[in-house]
Amino acid sequence: MMDASALRDAGLGRTIAEDIARLSRQPLKLMEVCGSHSHTIVRYGIRELLPPTIELVPGPGCPVCVAPQEEIDLAIDLARRPEVVVTTFGDLVRVPGTNGSMAEVRAEGGDVRIVLSPMDALETARREPERLVVFVAIGFETTAPGVAATLRAAADDGVTNLALLIAHKTMPAPMRALVAGGECGVQGFICPGHVSAIIGSEAYRFLADDYGVACAVAGFEPLDVLLAVRGLVIQHEAGKPTVDVEYARAVRPDGNQRALSVLLEVFEPVDARWRGLGEIPDSGLRLRAPYAEFDVESRLGIQRIPADPHPACRCGDILRGVLAPPKCPAFGRTCTPDRPLGPCMVSSEGACAAEWQYRP
């Protein structure tokens, strides 16, 4: 396995950037479809290394950020129920809902526990059989197989006090929606590394073939991103869009078939609402019939009530690639990590969080 330090070599990075500047003649707007890529780009000053012909914008690659307001509100509502233990990944806890956040509910006595994996939620349910343990199942294809495996284990062991609030979203449906909508004018995608390790690079083929949009799958080190940008520039200048893989150490054309098999055994596609993008066909997941009893909404007879985000929050515009975080009027003023207006500022993969953390 390649030493990560080699992929942070500043001299080699400058050499690749110089090569990009030599190759790039036409304006090119690229979108990174991964929150971790956004953090890498800002942390290592990659935009500043690129020629003025290239524009990099963040997209809908943060699973917490793309969750619509009603999903956040429902998680907070569950946290307020004394009979419920809510288990969740840490970056969801401080996301503001219409009325507070899970962090505030926990401070008021609500039982909200941060876990590192869905299996931790299952172990909690085993230890506390008298409580209903709800895991907030949020994430893309990267985390969904682990959730599916957890439900299989729960079903096999007869654990009945575990339930899911399902907020999973899937790629590349939103990428199609962005291109088809035409609002952001993206000509190329830096495709998400972790998601691609599951679904495979060929999942993006339609973007090149049907829409003429260049694609390159990238890893998460600065040289990974620069190599992906160079590949996208070469595609664009040649007028031959395709799907490059600059993360071959983890991504195969057909993905991880074992993980996909587990995912599709437990889940099936469903239309889903995205923050900033609205409803996108077949872009979410729901439980198949054998596992439907684990759906907390069905179990408790509750439903999502559509809600609007804070009127000053422009997170939705950022996720669509039409607004850069520093250009949001609220950024750093009325919206900070201590007092966020939306998830882009507090999620660990949020574009606003990256700008706040790494910009001087």
- Helix ranges restricted to H, 163-292: 173-181, 193-199, 205-211, 222-238, 257-266
Portions of the chain given CATH number 3.40.50.11740:
64-170+255-300
Highest CATH level, class, for 10-61+172-245: alpha beta
Q: Count of alpha carbons within 13 Å of 98, Cβ hemisphere only?
A: 13
Q: Which tens digits make up the pLDDT trace of 127-157?
A: 999 999 999 999 999 999 999 999 999 999 9
In 3D, which of 47, 89, 98 has the Cα closest to residue 70?
98
CA distance 182 to 231: 23
pLDDT of 54 over the 70 cut = yes
Return the number of other C-beta atoms located less than 10 Å from residue 317's C-beta.
18
What's the pLDDT score for residue 26? 97
Residue 70 has pLDDT above 80, yes or no: yes
Q: For the chain, how big is the Rg over CA atoms in Å? A: 20
pLDDT digits (tens, 9 = 90+) for 243-296: 999 999 999 999 999 999 999 999 999 999 999 999 999 999 999 999 999 999
**Strand-strand pairing, 112-114 and 243-245:** unpaired
Q: How far apart are the first and last CA of the chain?
A: 34
Q: List where CATH 3.40.50.11750 sits in the chain.
A: 10-61+172-245
pTM here is 0.95
What per-residue confidence (pLDDT) applies to 81?
97
Q: Is the pLDDT of residue 45 over 80?
A: yes
Quote the tokens at residue 62: 């943060």
Report the percent of the chain where pLDDT is more than 70: 99
Question: What pLDDT digit, counting tens, does each position of 83-132 carry?
Answer: 999 999 999 999 999 999 999 999 999 999 999 999 999 999 999 999 99
List the CATH code of the domain at 64-170+255-300: 3.40.50.11740
Whole-number Å distance between alpha carbons of 68 and 72: 7
